[in-house]
Amino acid sequence: MAPEEIRSAVIEILEDIAPDEDLSNLDDAQAFRDQLELDSMDFLDIVMELRKRYRVQVPEEDYNHLNSMGSTVEYLTPKMVDVAV
């Protein structure tokens, strides 16, 4: 997957776990928590969905990389380079 495809994949996950949120104006540079009502269980949902959908493992010590869309895509890019679209 290319970075833009990873971003779309994360957006799809967010649409499922935060269905009441408007994601159309999400600022990739800003923290998710500053823009969306996400709590720790939601971040665990992101981790779980990445595992289920793409078999990507995000170890607990790396959770801080999921802070914003930008950092998430940057973190996932090497992990998902071989994941088919």
Partner 1 sequence: MISAVKPQPLPPEQRIVITGIGLTAPNGNCLTDFREALLAGVSGVSEYEIRYFGKTLAGICEFDGRRHQTRKDARRGTRAGSIGAYCANESVVDSGVDWENVDKDRVGIYIGVTEHGNVETENEIYEISNFDYDTKFWSHHHNPRTVANNPAGEIAINMGITGPHYTIGAACAAGNAGLIQGAQQLRLGECDLAIAGGVSESIHTFGIFAGFASQGALASHDDPQRASRPFDVNRNGIVVAEGGCLYLLERLSDAQARQAKIYGELVGYAMNTDATDFVLPNPERQSQCIRIALERAGLVADQIDIVSTHATGTASGDTLECAAIRDVFGESENTLINNAKSFIGHSMGAAGSLELAGNLPAFEDGVCHATINIDELDPECALDGLVQNQPREIGRPADYILNNSFGMLGINSVCIIKRFTG
Footprint on this chain of partner 1 (rule: CB under 8 A): 16-20, 37, 41, 44-45, 48, 51-52
Task: Tell me whether residue 18 or residue 74 sits nearer to partner 1 (CB atom).
Answer: 18
d(CA 3, CA 81): 9
Task: Tell me whether residue 19 or residue 78 sits nearer to partner 1 (CB atom).
Answer: 19
Give the shortest CB-22-to-partner 1 separation in angstroms.
Answer: 13
Give the shortest CB-45-to-partner 1 separation in angstroms.
Answer: 8
Are 17 and 46 within 8 A, CB to CB? yes
Give the shortest CB-19-to-partner 1 separation in angstroms.
Answer: 4
* Alpha helices, H only, the chain: 3-17, 32-35, 40-54, 69-79
Closest CA to 14 of 63, 60, 55, 68: 68
